[in-house]
Structure 1
Amino acid sequence: MYEMGLDVYRFSIAWPRLIPDGRGEINPKGLEYYNNLIDELIRHGIQPHVTIYHFDLPQSLQDEYNGLLSPRFIDDYTAYAEACFKSFGDRVKHWVTVNEPNIETIGGLDSGVLPPQRCSHPFGNCTRGDSTTEPYIAAHHLLLAHASAVSLYRAKYQATQRGQIGITLLGWWHEPATDSSEDAAAATRMNDFHIGWFMHPLVYGDYPAVMRSRVGARLPDFTAEQSKKLPGSFDFAGFNHYLVVRARAHDSAFNTKQRDYYADAYAIANPFDDIQEGHLEYAPWALGRLLDHLKLKYGNPPVMIHENGYADASELPRKVEYEDDDRSEFLQDYLEVLYLSIRLASDRVRAAVYTGCRNGSNARGYFVWSFLDVFEFLFGYRSRFGLCGVDMNGEGRTKYVRNSGRWYSGFLKGGELRPASSSGKAYVAA
């Protein structure tokens, strides 16, 4: 990382590694691991950006009270977050409370394709669960846990540790599948469900009106005190942005007696199916639309792009493994859109790229997913995102820098955003 010129590194603290039973004593080996990592990063001038909870609830809490479905999760999570602040906050200046709560809840408690694999017929094939209510209950508790940890941090630690704290959401952007007004309305609804589900309470103190009207009594209520505590409970909002998703209206599904999250929103087939099969539509302009949406609807909050990257298949017909010019072009295209979103460019320049931000986006940072090839949550080892490749079949897990890593390193050290040979194409990968 140091040799490549990276100045920040985003990673997660694993709750089961630090506090294996979910509450109680800290594991000294886990504490030593993270202290060593943080110290080594700082020794090389690299800022640690730390996520506290990233899909890895201790199994003991799942067994004891069904994890995110119980309000008991809020207190246990807050105690764990405080252990992180106490142990590492003297060096960590950027905290994320929760990673992608708007997808953990759907994947784990609606379709059931992610842990804890809860769902109900006809929305998934699980042995237990209720797809019509549980995603909303879990999301509610995650929001309250986030607000609780932020309140604690601000009250006891922020003044002395001088850090910032926020939350990171998955940032798919939804566009209409066709030119019809019905699909346009479906895309607008889906952005309110996907992004507004968390951003609306964090800015305005309640869920979006469209969610209230379509979900009804299945959507939990906030108390008056909670509605006061939620707004402004973030110093920045992180977004993991990869895809544009095409929304198609399907009102007949909404009119059924049993509805899950997607039927409540716009009732297309669950996009997890396409994503797991690797059918991904990349569109750099969608990042600009997302940033514009955040500016116009949520007061232009400070934003971190916490993930943005391009997946290759694990087996590719290339001469050498480090040839990945598609990834370099992908990063150039998205960085260009990010740059044009931030700067106060003329309307004429912006119009050539996308319908952009009139007053400039408040984006503060950008992270590539990922530094290394890793075990991907949805894809395992079938998809590789790394600037640096890893030979997963070799005993030593040999690592090597890909061409995209060399380009990104040169860019960070003052090189051109776009080499003359770059085509600036859009991306559709399978």
Structure 2
Amino acid sequence: MEGARARLFIGVLCCLVVLERAVGLEFTRSDFPSDFVFGSATSAYQERCQTTVLVMWLQTDITNIRYNGIIMLSYRYILEDVKLMADTGLEAYRLSISWSRLIPDGRGEVNPKGVEYYNGLIDDLVKHGIQIHVMIYQLDLPQVLEDEYQGWLSPKIIDDFTAYADVCFKEFGDRVKYWTTLDEPNIIGIGSYDSGLWPPQHCSNPFRVINCTIRNSTVEPYIAVHNLLLAHASVYNLYHTKYHELQGGIVGINVYSFGIYPFSDSNADKEAAQRYHDFSVGWIVNPLTYGDYPLIMKKIVGPRLPVFTKYQSEMLRGAFDFIGLNHYTSLYVMDDSHNTNLGPHDFYADTSTQSSISRNIMPSGQYIPDPSEIVPDPDGLEHMLEYLKATYDNPPLYVQENGLGMTTNSSLEDKKRIDFLSGFIGSTLTAIRNGANVRGYFVWSFIDVFEFLAGYDTTFGLYSVDFESKEKTRKPRLSAHWYSNFLKNNGSISTTGLSDEGYHAEQ
């Protein structure tokens, strides 16, 4: 959804250093498999708002209230953006559907205007020959369900989420063949129910980083993710029972990932890095592959970790057609298991690690860097793709988000972003050549959108948006021209640095 979420996992102050690729790589679009797709992405809530938990947060948080009016205007320009996508040469576009736009009360009556809106967008994408990838849920929970039963903390949400997905499949499944149920459930658990940085801002001492609603950070992240996983499995089984034979689509889930490195060659740090893998990605992918949480999570979290029934375990096992990754940067991980018996534990304490973007790991304390501080490490994505290949029987993979945030006063000449994307696309190709089953790559984001932790102060778009203008004017950045040349003209990319191809951003 945005690079800003990368920092939700980081529980320590970090000093940034650039992680360099040791070997350069030059390639073109034709070096990828013929059925591999390149695209870009945005999300519903980041382009316009509905009555969701997110919007209530925007309206009540003084740091975010100024963004609300801007977001609510942006959806009117989406069909113009589809034309830009076609002109750019996008092969695929990943969008999200707003639960509240489709079903305003969270359950029950469907909003015909919402169906009409998405039908128009989907039809336009089909007309332009752009492959459609839909995220069913991207963090915009209907407020009414939070008020009624605390949203993802209640198993009641499984039936409501399944009914909502049923409407999506019924209304749009004749044209949409690629469905992702949930965006970053691992980050939802941490950001919404541990640190309290995200709505509904549940947290408790001593783990909270802001003055948020007091709940219980030691158990709520695990309860929420447990229900998210069961909701996903319910939707997956619904599709394959009711819709797959007729519609022929596939259903997956998304996770947030880091490249993970041990801080040193010590066995303790190597074990800590594996522990971090298990607590971050394994938390989601293990139950969907093997029917249960990683053993180390069960050992450390103990009775705070919910238990799957035999029926639930069987329902979860194999309940995905692909795994989507949102990936931006890498972490060094140091063992911190000597502190495991001190006081109450939340997710961060349970990992028994300290983590940092650099090797200069500092004393524990929660710090969220600016999105522009993302450190490019393309090798970390390659390692993650190959880790998933080795650990989970080489599942189909999509890199569903990857991009670089830059400050809004930056020039349209975003060469730094081009270098970033070049490196990560190159690392994706290397992983494919090493046998990883990667099916697609999506740049975050196609246009500038509201970023969760940075608002409009940091932008990721291939196209800039003038949010102060009445027309919300779009202008292509240098990266848009570069990506278009790669896709449409089989342009050559080098991962060792940006070559002067004579591109010019429109001023």
TM-score (normalised: structure 2): 0.77
Change (3 A) 1:147 1:89: same
The reply on whether 1:220 has 2:306 as its aligned counterpart is: yes
Mapped to 2, the partners of 1:280 and 1:218 lie a distance apart of 33
Looking at structure 2, the residues matched to 419 and 239 of structure 1 have their Cα atoms a distance apart, in angstroms, of 23
Superposed displacement of residue 326, structure 1: 1.1
In structure 2, C-alpha distance between the alignment counterparts of 1:161 and 1:275, rounded to whole Å: 43
Measured after TM superposition, the shift of residue 380 of structure 1 is: 0.9
Q: Does residue 412 of structure 1 match 2:487?
A: yes
Higher relative contact order (CA 8 A, sep 6+): 2
Check 1:266–1:275 CA distance in 2 against 1; reply closer, same or farther (3 A cut): farther
- Secondary structure of the structure 2 residue equivalent to 1:173: strand
String of CA shifts for 1:60-104, please: whole Å, max 9, x gaps: 000000100000010000000001011111111000010100101
- Structure 2 Cα separation of the partners of residues 109 and 364 of structure 1: 32
Q: Distance in 2 between matches of 1:280 and 1:394?
A: 29
Structure 2 partner of 1:191: 277
Shift of 1:179: 4.1
- Matched with 2:368 is 274
- Pairs within 5 Å for 1:309-320: 309-316=403-410
Q: Does 1:286 align with 2:380?
A: yes
Supply the distance in 2 between the matched residues of 1:172 and 1:411 (Cα, whole angstroms).
26
Aligned-partner Cα distance in 1 for 2:217–2:447? 35
1:367 is paired with a residue whose SS is strand
Separation of aligned partners in 2, 1:420 and 1:267: 32
Find out whether 1:331 has 2:421 as its counterpart. yes
1:43 to 124, 127, 139: 127
Alignment of 1:161-200 (within 5 A): 161-200=247-286
- Once the two structures are superposed, residues 148-182 of structure 1 have per-residue CA deviations (whole angstroms, 9 ceiling, x without a partner) of 00001000001101111100111122222344433
1:403 corresponds to which of 471, 478, 486? 478
**What CA distance in whole angstroms lies between the structure 2 residues aligned with 1:271 and 1:315?**
30
Alpha-carbon distance, 1:420 to partner: 10
Aligned equivalents of 1:57 and 1:102: distance in 2?
16
The 5-angstrom pairing of residues 18-417 of structure 1 reads 18-124=102-208, 125-268=211-354, 273-276=367-370, 278-316=372-410, 321-343=411-433, 357=434, 360-417=435-492
State whether residues 245 and 281 of structure 1, in contact with CA within 8 Å, keep that contact through their aligned partners in structure 2: no
Query: What amino acid maps onto 1:115 in structure 2?
Result: P
Per the TM alignment, residue 416 of structure 1 is displaced from its structure 2 partner at its CA by: 3.0
**Contact residue 254 and residue 267 of structure 1 kept, 8 A:** no
| Aligned AA (2:237) | S
TM-aligned CA deviation for residue 129 of structure 1? 1.1
Distance 1:210 1:219, change over 3 A: same
Contact 2:288 2:316 in 1 (8 A): yes
Judge conservation of contact 1:247–1:266 (CA < 8 Å) in 2. no
> Whole-Å Cα distance in 2 between the matches of residues 42 and 253 of structure 1?
55
CA deviations on 1:193-249 (whole Å, 9 max, x unpaired) are 100001000000000001011100100000001111111111111001111022222
Structure 1 residue runs without a partner (length 5+): 344-356, 425-430
Deviations 1:112-168 (A, max 9, x none): 000110000000042321000000000000000000000010000011011111001
* Offset, 1:261: 0.4
SS of the residue 1:68 aligns to: helix
Q: Secondary structure at the match of 2:213?
A: coil
The 8 Å contact of residues 253 and 259 in structure 1, kept in 2 or not, is answered as: no
More moved, 408-417 vs 143-152:
408-417
- 1:421 deviates by 8.8
Identity %: 50
Counting matched residue pairs gives: 405
Distance 1:389 1:189, change over 3 A: same
